[in-house]
Amino acid sequence: MLSRADIEAHMPHAGASCLLERVVRHDMRTIYCTTRAHLDPANPLRRNGRLDMVCGVEIGMQAAALHGGLHRQAGGPRIGYLTTLRQVSLAPGRLDQPQWGTLQVRATCEQADEQGMRYHFSVESEAGAALVTGHGFVVLQPQGQQA
C-alpha cells in the first residue's frame, strides 16, 4: 500500500490537486486506489459548492498518471497530456454525496508505447456502484523535450 506522500512523489499532481489518497495494489497493468477527496469541501474541482459526477474523470485519469509514474521503464518520468476521452459513462447525481463512501478507483493500461498510452478507468462507490467509467488517451512528450 502506498501513502499519500508516495503517491505525490510519482505523479505531477500535488497538494490539494492530488485527488488520490491510497494505492491498495498495483501491477504492470492495473492500479487500484481509494479516496475520500470527493467529500472534501476544499476540493479544487468544486464549483458553486458542488462536485459534479464528471469530476470522477479527473480522479480516474489521476490513477492512470500514477500508474504510469510507478511503472515507467527506461528514461525516467515523462510529461503526458490527456488528449481524448471516449466511452465516458456518468451515473446520475453528484459525486460529492456521502452515500458513495470511500471511492474505489481503478485504471488499467490497455496499450502503451513510446508515443503514449490508452487507459480504461472506473470510479465506484464503496458498495461497488459504477459512478464513472471511460477510456483516456495520453500522448507523451518526446524524450529530451521536457518542460
**By percentage, how much of the chain surpasses pLDDT 90?**
69
Retrieve residue 23's grid coordinates: 494505492
pTM over 0.75: yes
Alpha carbon distance 76, 111 (integer Å):
19
Which CATH number does 4-140 carry?
3.10.129.10
**47-93: pLDDT as tens digits:** 999 999 999 999 999 999 999 888 875 455 677 889 999 999 999 99
Query: Which residue type sits at 93?
Result: G
Neighbours of 29 (CB within 10 A): 12
What is the number of residues in the chain?
Answer: 147
**By percentage, how much of the chain surpasses pLDDT 70?**
93
Q: Where are the domains of the chain?
A: 4-140
